[in-house]
Amino acid sequence: MPNTLADWLTYLESLHPKTIALGLERVAQVKQRLNLQPEFPIIVVGGTNGKGSVCAMLESILFAAGYRVGCYTSPHLLAYNERVRIGKRQASDAELCASFAQIEQVRGDIPLTYFEFGTLAAMQCFVEHKVEIAILEVGLGGRLDAVNAFDSDCAVVTSVDIDHIDYLGDTREKIGFEKAGIFRGGKVAICADADVPQAVAGHAEKIGAELWRIGQEFGFTPHQGQWDYRSKIGARSSLPYPALRGVYQLSNASAALAALDALKDKLPVSMAAVRRGLAEVSLPGRFQVLPGRPQLILDVAHNPHAARSLGHNLARLPPCPRTFAVFAMLGDKDMAGVVRVLKDQVGVWLVARINPPRGATAAELALVLAAEGVTGAVREFPLIENALQHAFNEASENDRIVAFGSFYTVAEVMRVRGLRTD
């Protein structure tokens, strides 16, 4: 067996011929062999965008309330350990390796994908550490995603928009149906998308889940410097804004509080814990504004829906002379859609290639920019590092640099700048 975490991760990548192979049969078989029967409550969070923010807020609030919280998210930015956290602490290499080894001993000839192996390992860690609540972020879709092998006590769908069309479909209804697959009969199902697809509502009704919709069964009212939350269970007033920046974070915070309302009998949470959790939550790479001049902003936005959020957030910042974009995307994403949303807010485009095989080349990105009628300057670079260095060389202290387009883009900028995720 592999000895180090790096060796294990290389090994996991070789086990299945496909990086993504949706389906629950493989992971369910190995789960049974491991006898993974978690006795703690589980919250599963899916959605096109916002699911990482909801997971982070739930984790922060429940930790502040004194619970031993397990949180499984993906992808990671700098280190795999970010994906598995217990008590807001990243799992150690040794803990992950031990879990991987247990799975390897029982899986036999079942070819698990990298994500399936990691999902089982995370749950194995949570059981070993006797967590009191587990938060699981869906990797892709929901219905056939590995985390859906575990029954949730409450499921959250943050948003439904077009992404991963090769796997989930090319309409909001098709995608909504896949995401609603995490709902469970007799349990609360939360949807924080203001325009609930009929497929989501219909599936909840069909299986007997109790659907809570934002703006109906729960919602929020912003005020100057604070906000109020309400649901069919009760209300929480004069709350601090979440430490996560962005215009859509109140929707995400409301979804997190709705999940806590749904589980209040099992996991009571005080107002003090809610306030502290919201004030202390952190999530690198989501409209992360770094100190210093020129201003550097990191955002993992990689689809048009997330790009619209980024655009709204940029529009709320004080005006600046020039905005430089350090821009790199995967070639199978909607590059044109992202550019279309943000082209009027960027003055200088610095495009580079992402190293993974799926990364679009700088030349391909430049062609997309031209096709979308971008009028600002466009410069091509072989590496994200080169684009970032050029931005800092050219920008004045009053300018703004925005690095976005992928988790890979943000991760590379963080690496170059010596930033951490813990």
147-157 pLDDT per residue, tens: 999 999 999 99
**Confidence band for 239, pLDDT divided at 50, 70 and 90:** very high
**Confidence band for 356, pLDDT divided at 50, 70 and 90:** confident
53-68 pLDDT per residue, tens: 999 999 999 999 999 9
Residues forming CATH 3.90.190.20 domain(s) in the chain: 288-417
Quick one: which of 240, 154, 150, 146 has its CA closest to 190?
154
8-state DSSP, 214: B
Q: Picking from 9-23, 43-57, 182-196, 295-309, which range would have the lowest pLDDT averaged per residue?
A: 9-23
The CATH homologous superfamily to which domain 5-280 belongs is Mur-like, catalytic domain (3.40.1190.10)
Q: What is the pLDDT of residue 23?
A: 85
Quick one: which of 336, 335, 343 has its CA closest to 314?
343
Q: What is the pLDDT of residue 328?
A: 98
**Confidence band for 103, pLDDT divided at 50, 70 and 90:** very high
Residue with tokens 């992360």: 288
CA angle 134/138/140 to nearest 5° reads 165
- Return the CATH number of the domain spanning residue range 288-417: 3.90.190.20
Q: What is the pLDDT of residue 18?
A: 72
8-state DSSP, 359: B
Q: What is the pLDDT of residue 156?
A: 98
Mean pLDDT, to the nearest integer, of 144-166? 91
Q: What is the pLDDT of residue 165?
A: 66
Q: Picking from 11-20, 178-187, 300-309, which range would have the lowest pLDDT averaged per residue?
A: 11-20
Residues forming CATH 3.40.1190.10 domain(s) in the chain: 5-280
306: pLDDT strictly greater than 70:
yes
Mean pLDDT, to the nearest integer, of 315-336? 95
